[in-house]
Structure 1
């Protein structure tokens, strides 16, 4: 995954890693599972069924359901092996390839569709947080983009995803990197929520002011 360098033989190879770092394949760290097909008539609204995560719900490395979609209980019972667990990652592999999000305790036992679930072979929340940051970083994004280019609808295979190289620092550094990027993602999310709420308030206020429903006293001079 590191930038390639030219060796003394003239061939290109991966740049050397810092002391204590490892280069592993994503498939060595995680199992990969494509979500099931879910028909529109199996879905429910916001008040019923098991919550269902769609690609549009992956926003800034978090799962954000603006319009909650569920799955009918009878259908959900047939999809038990697609349940999510805290520490899983979800990733888009078609269309806008490479958007990812970390599954938190809130989404435990939810279901997903049109996404790939990455589940660590050995549960480790700090590693899950690091991988979320790693997969959303430019180096990993460019790697996935190169392997999904050329089709009318960009898509990357599970085999290619499993081959994606992951640079893994020592434990303490890995935890610090994951926590730093997660904190920044949260700041982005909060600022976007403030901007969205302010925009809605502005639209409402404009309607009230422009129709005379909310008179506004002009300022008087001295």
Structure 2
């Protein structure tokens, strides 16, 4: 367990830098051959971070394999958490097995939890909690484009419950996320039916809609 822990009513308060490796993305000049084609290694950027802590790979850009080999230290693996550090501050994603080996761009920070300290899914949920988001954004450096400094982010205190409590929280939040996805799919299906229903009602081929 990291040093300097502070017990609280809900767990142990630990600095983020004692729980994770915090690594800023590569300089933009090292990614000057980013392209939209199908070949090469994907590079995750802020627009690719979806609202449900996932990476949306539909528009991800890529670099040639030779560039990816040079930038191997900026590869992600399952369990990493990517946080936007420049621009759309506060957005984040939990890396899944499907994205292992991908790279991340200069506008992101990679948080790699140390073994035995914190569950990656719990960390992603914790950093998304509104009071924690406000604390994170409060550390942003002022400027035309606000930015999170990796050194200051390491000083962010994290309340870490016992491991069994972390598992329970992650499981409960996963159930909620599943229900949200189901409801969204239902809403999208109904929305897609709207034009057909209108057309049938307009043509008089449908009397009522139940």
- Give TM-score scaled by structure 1 length: 0.76
The residue number in structure 2 matching 1:88 is 80
Q: How does 1:1-222 map to 2 (within 5 A)?
A: 17-18=8-9, 21-36=11-26, 37=28, 39=31, 41-45=33-37, 47-59=38-50, 60-113=52-105, 114-122=107-115, 127-148=119-140, 150-192=142-184, 195=187, 199=191, 201=192, 218-219=205-206
My pick for the range that moved more, 80-89 or 175-184, is 175-184
Aligned positions, number: 198
Q: State the distance in 2 between where 1:96 and 1:29 align.
A: 24
Sort the Cα spacing of 1:187 and 1:48 in 2 relative to 1 into closer, same or farther, 3 A.
Answer: farther
Offset of residue 204 of structure 1: 7.7
Query: 1:104-157: per-residue Cα shift (whole Å, max 9, x none)?
Result: 111111111121000112267x71111010000012101012122643322121
Offset of residue 98 of structure 1: 1.7
Gaps of 5+ in 1: 1-14, 210-214
Kept in 1: contact 2:45–2:60 (CA 8 A)? no
- Give TM-score scaled by structure 2 length: 0.80
Offset of residue 219 of structure 1: 4.3
Offset of residue 54 of structure 1: 1.2
Q: State the distance in 2 between where 1:79 and 1:204 align.
A: 49
Kept in 2: contact 1:30–1:119 (CA 8 A)? yes
Sort the Cα spacing of 1:128 and 1:196 in 2 relative to 1 into closer, same or farther, 3 A.
Answer: same
The CA RMSD measured in Å over matched residues stands at 3.0
Gaps of 5+ in 2: 1-5
Offset of residue 159 of structure 1: 1.2
Q: Secondary structure at the match of 1:63?
A: coil
Sort the Cα spacing of 1:187 and 1:120 in 2 relative to 1 into closer, same or farther, 3 A.
Answer: same
Q: State the distance in 2 between where 1:33 and 1:192 align.
A: 34
Kept in 2: contact 1:133–1:182 (CA 8 A)? no
Which of these two proteins has the greater Rg computed from alpha carbons?
1
Q: State the distance in 2 between where 1:69 and 1:198 align.
A: 32
Sort the Cα spacing of 1:175 and 1:156 in 2 relative to 1 into closer, same or farther, 3 A.
Answer: same
Q: State the distance in 1 between where 2:187 and 2:59 align.
A: 18
Sort the Cα spacing of 1:143 and 1:35 in 2 relative to 1 into closer, same or farther, 3 A.
Answer: same
